[in-house]
């Protein structure tokens, strides 16, 4: 009897949690109906979940949500995941050099510090650029797939994970640059380590792709708090940032502009100003909103 | 032309009059059909009917019986009455000379 009561209480908490996925007015009406009907916890949970599923599925009716997913979410996810893999492999060599071959003697070597000073900014810049690109792609997904963010976000992360684990189809292999540091024989020692081959790319993807992209999606969903002109400015900045992400991954583009003045091979750090354009524009536009909200908060 | 469940919902709401809201309509439908009526089906159909202009809904008062939660009140519009009448006539016409009850 006590066990049943505990189970029912747990189920009711789950009902409350599931009902948060409904609009506030509908949540009130549905939870009130369930209380009035004295439904059991399991029945109430089934009822609420059935409504949540129907509401979510209704957003996917028509061609527009699918066009957004196929035309925006999937390509951005593939691009940012490829960039993450390339960044992970490229920087793994430096990490291996300095972490796996470290000892107390080496810190007394001036060459060690000189080399470290030369490569550390490049590694940090590539991490910063990846985080900015991820945030920007998340912002665009959140902005254009506002009503289906739950689904579009899930597709984004599943595709990113799939690309990270399995790679991309052969067709894309010919268009996109997939050469990575691990493809070169000289780096074999690094990628013999299971950590650098499997674990490190996933860790980097979690920290520099999943978290910033998720944040960007949530902020993109609330783009309508900015005036229209600010939204256009932000979208232009985000598009420019994504343009640099595309250009760093397109093989034909890289070959075409290879050392041809004024088009140089697009790569970091010269791409940095454009890579950070999305977050920079967002912070720039957010500042007046924060300043406007602060006095009203202090008054209240 | 209304769907079968849409007709049930409109008829239940019309019968309840001023007392038509989610839980009451659900009880009416369950009593009439002898089957469970899911809240998901009820509220999504209600939205569809409202979009078609066949019913009007608004949030009513909260009661202690409902744990202080508000009701979603329902009123059948003139167009809704016409649609239900048309459906009823069609069912009556098509059922003429067919004695389901005796089989």
CATH number at residue B89: 1.10.10.10
Short-list B78, B69, B100, B77, CA closest to A25: B69
Cβ neighbour number for residue B52 with a 10 Å cutoff: 14
Q: Is B64 domain-assigned?
A: yes
A156 Cα to chain B: minimum distance (Å) = 28
Q: Is B75 domain-assigned?
A: yes
B39 CB within 8 Å of a chain A CB: yes
Joined together, the tokens standing for residue A123 give 């590694």
- Peptide bond preceding A262 in cis form (omega within 30 of 0): yes
pLDDT given for residue A2 in this prediction:
77
Q: Is the pTM of this model over 0.80?
A: no
Question: H/E element holding A57?
Answer: helix A41-58
Q: Is B34 domain-assigned?
A: yes
pLDDT tens per residue across span A21-76: 888 889 999 999 998 888 888 899 999 999 999 988 888 888 899 999 999 999 99
pLDDT tens per residue across span A105-148: 777 888 888 888 888 888 898 899 999 999 999 999 999 988 88
Q: Do B39 and A25 touch (CB under 8 A)?
A: no
Joined together, the tokens standing for residue A119 give 């490569």
pLDDT tens per residue across span A142-167: 999 888 888 999 999 999 999 888 87
pLDDT given for residue A93 in this prediction:
86
Q: Is B100 domain-assigned?
A: no
Q: Do B23 and A32 touch (CB under 8 A)?
A: yes
Which residues of chain A does B22 touch, with a Cβ-Cβ cutoff of 8 Å? 29-30, 32-33
**Bridge partners of residue B63, in order along the sequence:** B69
A→B contacts (Cβ < 8 Å), by residue, are 25-26, 28-37, 47-48, 50-51, 53-55, 58
Residue among B23, B44, B62 whose CB faces A33 most closely = B23
pLDDT tens per residue across span A169-203: 666 665 565 556 676 777 788 888 888 888 999 99
Short-list A92, A222, A202, A219, CA closest to A157: A202
Q: Which residue is it, tokens 């910033």?
A: A212
Question: H/E element holding A135?
Answer: helix A110-144
What is the extent of the structural domain holding B65? 4-94
Our count of domains for chain B comes to: 1
- Cα–Cα distance between A77 and B81 in angstroms, integer? 50
pLDDT given for residue A8 in this prediction:
81
pLDDT given for residue A235 in this prediction:
93
Q: Is B79 domain-assigned?
A: yes
Cα B16 to its chain centre, rounded Å, is 9
Q: Is B103 domain-assigned?
A: no
A18 Cα to chain B: minimum distance (Å) = 13
Q: Is B86 domain-assigned?
A: yes
Give me the long-range contacts of A165-173 (CB less than 8 A, separation at least 24): A168/A78, A168/A82, A172/A78
Short-list A135, A125, A150, CA closest to A60: A150
């Amino acid at each position: 009897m006590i066990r049943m009561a505990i189970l029912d209480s747990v189920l009711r908490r789950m009902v409350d949690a599931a009902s948060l996925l409904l609009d506030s007015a509908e949540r009130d009406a549905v939870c009130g109906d369930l209380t009035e009907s004295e439904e059991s916890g399991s029945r109430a949970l089934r009822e609420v979940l059935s409504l949540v599923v129907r509401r979510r599925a209704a957003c996917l009716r028509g061609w527009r949500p699918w066009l957004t997913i196929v035309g925006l979410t999937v390509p951005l996810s593939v691009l940012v995941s490829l960039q993450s893999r390339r960044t992970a492999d490229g920087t793994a060599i430096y990490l291996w050099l300095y972490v796996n071959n470290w000892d107390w003697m080496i810190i007394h070597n001036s060459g060690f510090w000189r080399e470290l000073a030369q490569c550390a900014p490049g590694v940090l810049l590539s991490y910063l650029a990846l985080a900015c690109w991820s945030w920007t792609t998340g912002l665009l997904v959140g902005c254009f797939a506002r009503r289906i963010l739950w689904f579009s976000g899930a597709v984004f992360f599943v595709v990113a994970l799939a690309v990270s684990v399995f790679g991309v189809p052969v067709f894309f292999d010919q268009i996109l640059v997939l050469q990575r540091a691990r493809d070169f024989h000289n780096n074999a020692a690094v990628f013999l380590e299971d950590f650098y081959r499997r674990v490190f790319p996933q860790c980097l993807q979690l920290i520099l792709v999943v978290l910033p992209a998720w944040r960007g999606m949530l902020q993109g969903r609330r783009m309508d708090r900015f005036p229209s002109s600010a939204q256009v400015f932000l979208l232009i900045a985000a598009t420019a940032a994504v343009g640099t992400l595309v250009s760093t991954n397109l093989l034909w583009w890289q070959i075409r502009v290879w050392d041809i003045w004024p088009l140089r091979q697009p790569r970091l750090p010269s791409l940095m100003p454009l890579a950070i354009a999305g977050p920079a524009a967002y912070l720039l536009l957010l500042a007046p909103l924060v300043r406007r909200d602060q006095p009203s908060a202090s008054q209240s | 032309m209304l769907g079968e469940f849409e007709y049930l919902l409109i008829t239940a709401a019309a019968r309840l009059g001023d007392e038509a809201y989610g839980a009451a309509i659900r009880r009416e439908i369950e009593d009439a059909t002898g089957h469970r009526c899911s809240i998901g089906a009820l509220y999504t159909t209600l939205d569809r009917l409202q979009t078609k202009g066949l019913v009007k809904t608004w949030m009513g008062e909260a009661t202690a019986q409902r744990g202080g939660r508000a009701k979603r009140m329902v009123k059948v519009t003139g167009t809704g009455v016409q649609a239900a009448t048309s459906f009823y006539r069609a069912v009556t016409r098509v059922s003429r000379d067919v004695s389901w009850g005796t089989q």
